[in-house]
């Protein structure tokens, strides 16, 4: 009987909701439900692109829907016209959305817009018709019928130029033309071709030439085909047809509006093809040697112009960079001036953060950072950081295993805006400043009831970008010294039982290097975006060639053991924009560590971990794995690590309103050991069984996105537990949200800052 009551209630609610969509529609009008389009005839290969273009141009758009329901329209209809602030104001002005009415639709105007769009795509004889489709008494939509008829293709492309140098450059570039015989006529491609020729000419010194001075004439008298003629307009001004060289290039290093009228009175200092005006002696001239690519008496090039502007801006010491160009009267020379407004030289930043982990730990961290953006007048960035934090567990079982933890971080780094290398003058011709970074840091992690772990790190490396999508980071020298201390008897007993853990935090050197390659074309405007990252980290290989084994078979340096391993990781993310407010994000991560020689496992600072707010959110951080192993204390004693990691995440993100977003997600993965450990049965990675040892969780999320800060709440639970017997690992049938014991054991709330990936 109860089930019928529920069904009756749901049906009644659905009927009431359907009726409520037209409550505020005026008499004699109708609710506009949207448009549908029918394409007569055979669909072309690029029909999907054309269809998207047609849909984008149909106006207006109907009321927004979520999961097929016009929630914002329902909220609007729940309220009345507000007389001030209050619930009606929120429903009508903030949360709700007024009904889109049929009277606001101008279908005949839309016909013309669609015909114009399709003509630009080669359908010169297209016809578009419309018809109003009524739906009940208060709703209606528009049905558009497109008869594309014949589509015109390109029969020939001719470049009509004279014998001038400009004509030669245009004619010699025709082998790279975007206008291909046999392709469909497309106005957008014609615009791109004009832009291509314009960029070539700008690279050849034609500073005043613009795409508007190019003309592409179309002869469409032949049935179904067009002849294209590319030429320079007869009305193009003489300055646009002239090549320009640089007469003088000036840099003003401390420009402000207050000094604008006096700036020309300061004496300049010629340096390597340009002149520096630095009356306050803020910078050494070498700072600009690798950033200014426009030189006096050189041919003007658009690439040199753009690289110079971007390099000066990317130095990181200037807040504003502005360039101006002025022609020398009646000559082929340009004067260039770059006005640079610096940031304050020094800054101090204080950060206070709090966090909550999925293993019932809460903590806080205080960090103070001091920066000098122009250290030693070389645009070098000097950064000194001091941080301290604490962590404690506020609930859960087995509290005898719980310990507070404290951390202290000290770091200093210097970043130089150039390559420091044995190769003199090494300077990539890109808009991005290559950098050399030297850093030293000390970290203390103290668990008073367990141990102290000291780590000292020295690093020397390079960072550079060849394109806007590729980022390289290479640290040929990376030295870490790990020193444990104050190990308690209780923790020593655990180390004696776990040789993998014992070696991972043993006193040791980590001497090697690492390389990271990142690819990213992420953009909110793209329908398909990608991020990929590859990292290679090796230690102990070169030094192993010059050290000998002792009587115990170990190699040492300065009387201390050092680690030997190779560690590789690969991460890929795919962002699919399904609609304006709906995104589907997928992530894959794979990491493999191979300890060898001195090492039976990776050092603690190089191991892989899983679980938590940025990983498998249905499992507490560092409590899952390795493999099917499950220690008695791993539920709350977060210390599980591995040499191998495989992880997959899939998440749907829906923007409900301006600052509120929802998510639904699935995570899967685990960690494993590379070598067998008798104290951890089932922890070794085996290719034929790793899928059976994969953990899976699912959940929902709420995100408060204020652009500069994203606060994330993810509620997740496991659906597959790899430590259970092989045929009992799927636990979907055991999900019981009404059972408080199940919720306490399985339901995990992750609170974090920022998106998980």
Span 506-526, pLDDT tens digits: 788 889 999 999 999 988 888
pLDDT over 60 (residue 84):
yes
pLDDT mean over 236-261: 88
Binning pLDDT at 50, 70 and 90, where does residue 11 land?
very low
% residues pLDDT > 90 (the chain): 61
pLDDT over 80 (residue 433):
yes
pLDDT over 90 (residue 666):
yes
| Gap between the Cα atoms of 619 and 625, Å rounded | 10
Torsion sign across C-alpha atoms 102, 104, 110, 111 = positive
Identify the residue whose tokens are 């609710």: 31
pLDDT over 70 (residue 395):
no
pLDDT mean over 178-198: 97
| Gap between the Cα atoms of 579 and 195, Å rounded | 30
Same domain assignment for residues 258 and 224: no
Provide the token pair at 642.
């591995």
Of 281, 257, 284, 280, whose CA–CA distance to 272 is shortest?
284
Mean pLDDT is highest, among 190-204, 279-293, 327-341, for 190-204
**Cβ atoms 638, 401 nearer than 8 A:** no
Question: pLDDT tens-digit profile of 339-371?
Answer: 999 999 999 998 876 655 545 566 778 899 999
| Gap between the Cα atoms of 288 and 270, Å rounded | 12
**Cβ atoms 402, 638 nearer than 8 A:** no
| Gap between the Cα atoms of 485 and 12, Å rounded | 69
Give the per-residue pLDDT at 326: 94
In a domain, 188, yes or no: yes
Angle value at C-alpha 744, between 730 and 670, nearest 5 degrees:
40
Q: How many CA atoms lie within 13 A of 277 on its CB side?
A: 20
Same domain assignment for residues 130 and 18: yes
| Gap between the Cα atoms of 175 and 165, Å rounded | 17
pLDDT over 60 (residue 133):
yes
Per the prediction, the chain carries an average pLDDT of: 88
**Cβ atoms 478, 459 nearer than 8 A:** yes
Q: Give me the domain span that covers residue 38.
A: 2-63+99-147
pLDDT over 80 (residue 258):
no
Provide the token pair at 61.
């758009």
Binning pLDDT at 50, 70 and 90, where does residue 3 land?
very low
Binning pLDDT at 50, 70 and 90, where does residue 12 land?
very low
Provide the token pair at 328.
């020398």
Backbone φ and ψ for 655, nearest 5 degrees, come out as -85, 105
The set of residues, in sequence order, having a beta carbon less than 8 Å from that of 176 and lying 6+ positions away, is: 196
pLDDT over 70 (residue 593):
yes
Binning pLDDT at 50, 70 and 90, where does residue 405 land?
confident
17-21, 333-337, 672-676, 748-752: the lowest-pLDDT one = 17-21
The residue that leads in pLDDT, 230 or 556, is 230
State whether residue 327 is helix, strand or coil: strand
In a domain, 229, yes or no: yes
In a domain, 160, yes or no: yes
pLDDT over 80 (residue 504):
no
| Gap between the Cα atoms of 544 and 557, Å rounded | 10
What DSSP line would sit under 157-187, residue for residue? EEEE--SSHHHHHHHHTGGG-S--TTSBP-H
Same domain assignment for residues 177 and 142: no
pLDDT mean over 703-715: 86
| Gap between the Cα atoms of 72 and 745, Å rounded | 37
**Cβ atoms 293, 273 nearer than 8 A:** no
pLDDT mean over 430-436: 93
Provide the token pair at 582.
């709906």
pLDDT over 90 (residue 21):
no
Give the per-residue pLDDT at 162: 93
**Cβ atoms 121, 50 nearer than 8 A:** yes
Provide the token pair at 148.
């594309």
pLDDT mean over 430-451: 90
Same domain assignment for residues 138 and 255: no
Same domain assignment for residues 158 and 219: yes
Same domain assignment for residues 307 and 184: no
The H-assigned helical ranges of 346-469 are none
End-to-end CA distance of the chain: 47
pLDDT mean over 636-663: 88
Of 474, 464, 415, 455, whose CA–CA distance to 439 is shortest?
415
Same domain assignment for residues 219 and 177: yes
Mean pLDDT is highest, among 322-326, 418-422, 605-609, 752-756, for 322-326
CATH of the domain at 104: 3.10.20.310
Rg (CA), the chain: 33
Of 312, 382, 359, 342, whose CA–CA distance to 635 is shortest?
359
pLDDT over 50 (residue 600):
yes
Same domain assignment for residues 236 and 250: no
Write down which residue in 317, 342, 367 finishes a domain: 342
pLDDT over 90 (residue 706):
no
| Gap between the Cα atoms of 180 and 189, Å rounded | 10
**Cβ atoms 481, 441 nearer than 8 A:** no
Same domain assignment for residues 25 and 157: no
In a domain, 29, yes or no: yes
Question: pLDDT tens-digit profile of 576-590?
Answer: 999 888 999 999 999
pLDDT over 80 (residue 66):
no
Write down which residue in 342, 369, 392 finishes a domain: 342
Give the per-residue pLDDT at 422: 85
In a domain, 211, yes or no: yes
pLDDT over 90 (residue 566):
yes
| Gap between the Cα atoms of 188 and 178, Å rounded | 11
Percentages of the chain per state (helix, strand, coil), in multiples of 5: 20, 40, 40
Angle value at C-alpha 742, between 737 and 746, nearest 5 degrees:
95
Burial class (CB in 10 A: 0-12, 13-18, 19+), 274: buried
| Gap between the Cα atoms of 23 and 727, Å rounded | 55
Q: Give the C-alpha distances (Å, rounded to integers) separating 462 from 436, 588, 737.
A: 5, 27, 52
| Gap between the Cα atoms of 455 and 453, Å rounded | 7
The residue that leads in pLDDT, 177 or 267, is 177
DSSP E strands, 148-260: 153-160, 214-219, 225-232, 245-252
In a domain, 703, yes or no: no
pLDDT over 90 (residue 309):
yes
Of 33, 249, 47, 12, whose CA–CA distance to 135 is shortest?
33
% residues pLDDT > 70 (the chain): 91
pLDDT mean over 281-309: 94
pLDDT mean over 96-125: 95
Torsion sign across C-alpha atoms 241, 243, 248, 249 = positive
| Gap between the Cα atoms of 697 and 153, Å rounded | 53
Same domain assignment for residues 236 and 306: no
Q: How many CA atoms lie within 13 A of 422 on its CB side?
A: 0
pLDDT mean over 65-70: 81
**Domain count for the chain:** 3
Backbone φ and ψ for 315, nearest 5 degrees, come out as -60, -25
Same domain assignment for residues 179 and 305: no
pLDDT mean over 36-46: 92
Give the per-residue pLDDT at 500: 64
Give the per-residue pLDDT at 14: 45
The residue that leads in pLDDT, 350 or 189, is 189
287-296, 528-537, 630-639: the lowest-pLDDT one = 630-639
pLDDT over 50 (residue 527):
yes
| Gap between the Cα atoms of 37 and 126, Å rounded | 14
Same domain assignment for residues 209 and 253: no
pTM recorded for the entire structure: 0.78
pLDDT mean over 27-45: 92
Query: Chain-centre distance of CA 215, in angstroms?
Result: 39
Write down which residue in 241, 259, 284 finishes a domain: 241
Binning pLDDT at 50, 70 and 90, where does residue 400 land?
very low
In a domain, 611, yes or no: no
Give the per-residue pLDDT at 10: 43
Give the per-residue pLDDT at 4: 44
| Gap between the Cα atoms of 447 and 425, Å rounded | 49
pLDDT over 60 (residue 269):
yes
What DSSP line would sit under 260-306, residue for residue? TTTGGGSPPEEETTEEEE-TT--S-THHHHTT----TTSBP-HHHHH
106-115, 166-175, 495-504, 715-724: the lowest-pLDDT one = 495-504
Binning pLDDT at 50, 70 and 90, where does residue 699 land?
very high
Helix (H) or strand (E) segment spanning residue 235: none
Give the per-residue pLDDT at 355: 58
**Cβ atoms 647, 610 nearer than 8 A:** yes
pLDDT over 80 (residue 305):
yes
Give the per-residue pLDDT at 603: 84
In a domain, 656, yes or no: no
The set of residues, in sequence order, having a beta carbon less than 8 Å from that of 168 and lying 6+ positions away, is: 161
């Amino acid at each position: 009987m109860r089930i019928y009551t529920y069904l009756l209630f749901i049906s009644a609610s659905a009927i009431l909701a359907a009726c409520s969509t037209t409550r505020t529609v005026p008499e004699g009008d109708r609710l506009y439900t949207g448009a549908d389009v029918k394409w007569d005839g055979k669909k072309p290969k690029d029909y999907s692109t054309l269809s998207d273009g047609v849909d984008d141009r149909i106006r207006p758009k109907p009321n927004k829907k979520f999961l097929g329901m016009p929630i914002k329209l329902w909220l609007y209809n729940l309220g009345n016209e507000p007389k001030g602030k209050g619930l009606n104001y929120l429903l009508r002005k903030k949360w709700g959305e007024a009904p889109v009415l049929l009277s606001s639709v101008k279908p005949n105007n839309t016909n013309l817009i669609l015909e114009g769009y399709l003509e630009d795509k080669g359908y010169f004889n297209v016809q578009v018709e419309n018809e109003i489709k009524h739906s009940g008494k208060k709703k209606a939509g528009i049905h558009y019928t497109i008869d594309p008829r014949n589509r015109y293709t390109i029969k020939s492309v001719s470049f009509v130029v004279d014998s001038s140098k400009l004509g030669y450059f245009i004619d010699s570039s025709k082998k790279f033309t975007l206008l291909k015989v046999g392709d469909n006529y497309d106005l957008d491609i014609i615009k791109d071709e004009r832009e291509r020729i314009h960029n070539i000419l700008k690279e050849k010194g034609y500073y005043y030439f613009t795409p508007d001075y190019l003309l592409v004439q179309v002869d469409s008298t032949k049935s179904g085909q067009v002849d294209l003629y590319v030429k320079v307009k007869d009305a193009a001004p003489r300055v646009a047809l002239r090549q320009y060289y640089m007469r003088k290039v000036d840099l003003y290093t401390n420009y402000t509006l207050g000094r604008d009228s006096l700036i020309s009175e300061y004496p300049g200092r010629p340096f390597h093809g340009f002149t520096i005006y630095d009356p306050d002696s803020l910078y050494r001239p070498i700072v600009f040697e690798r950033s200014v690519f426009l030189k006096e008496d050189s041919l003007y090039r658009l690439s040199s112009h753009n690289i110079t502007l971007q390099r000066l801006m990317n130095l990181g010491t200037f807040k504003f960079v502005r360039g101006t160009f002025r022609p020398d009267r009646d000559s082929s020379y340009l004067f260039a001036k770059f006005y640079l407004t610096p940031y304050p030289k020094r800054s101090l930043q204080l950060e206070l953060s709090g966090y909550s982990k999925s293993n019932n730990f809460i903590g806080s961290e205080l960090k103070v950072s001091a920066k000098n953006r122009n250290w030693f007048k070389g645009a070098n960035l000097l950064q000194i950081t001091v941080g301290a934090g604490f962590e404690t567990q506020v609930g859960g079982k087995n509290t005898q295993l719980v310990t507070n933890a404290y951390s202290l971080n000290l770091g200093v780094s210097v970043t130089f805006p150039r390559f420091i290398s044995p190769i003199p003058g090494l300077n990539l011709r890109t808009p991005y400043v290559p950098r050399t970074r030297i850093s030293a840091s000390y970290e203390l992690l103290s668990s008073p009831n367990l141990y102290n772990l000291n780590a000292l790190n020295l690093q020397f490396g390079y960072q550079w970008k060849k394109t806007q999508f590729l980022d390289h980071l290479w640290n040929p020298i990376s030295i870490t010294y790990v020193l444990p201390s104050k190990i308690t008897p209780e923790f020593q007993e655990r180390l004696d039982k776990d040789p993998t853990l014992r070696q991972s935090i043993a006193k040791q050197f980590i001497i090697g290097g690492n390389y990271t390659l990142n690819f990213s074309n992420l953009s909110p405007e793209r329908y398909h975006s990608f991020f990929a990252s590859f990292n290679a980290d090796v230690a102990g290989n070169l030094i192993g060639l010059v050290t000998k084994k002792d009587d115990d078979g170990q190699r040492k340096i300065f009387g201390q053991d050092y680690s030997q391993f190779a560690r590789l990781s690969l991460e890929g993310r795919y962002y699919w924009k399904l609609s304006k407010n709906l995104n589907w994000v997928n992530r894959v991560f794979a990491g493999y560590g191979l300890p060898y020689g001195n090492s039976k496992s990776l050092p603690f600072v190089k191991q892989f971990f899983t679980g938590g707010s940025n990983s498998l959110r249905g499992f507490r951080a560092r409590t899952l794995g390795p493999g099917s192993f499950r220690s008695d204390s791993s539920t709350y004693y977060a210390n599980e690590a591995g040499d191998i990691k495989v992880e997959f995440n899939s998440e749907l993100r829906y923007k409900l309103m301006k600052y509120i977003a929802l998510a639904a997600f699935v995570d899967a993965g685990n960690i494993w050991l590379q070598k067998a450990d008798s104290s951890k049965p089932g922890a070794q990675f085996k290719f034929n069984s790793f899928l059976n040892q994969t953990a899976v969780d699912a959940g929902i999320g709420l995100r408060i996105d204020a652009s500069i800060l994203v606060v994330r709440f993810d509620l997740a639970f496991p659906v597959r537990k790899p430590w259970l017997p092989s045929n009992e690992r799927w636990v979907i049938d055991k999900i019981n949200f009404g059972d408080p014991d199940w919720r306490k054991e399985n339901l995990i709330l992750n609170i974090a800052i920022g998106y998980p990936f």
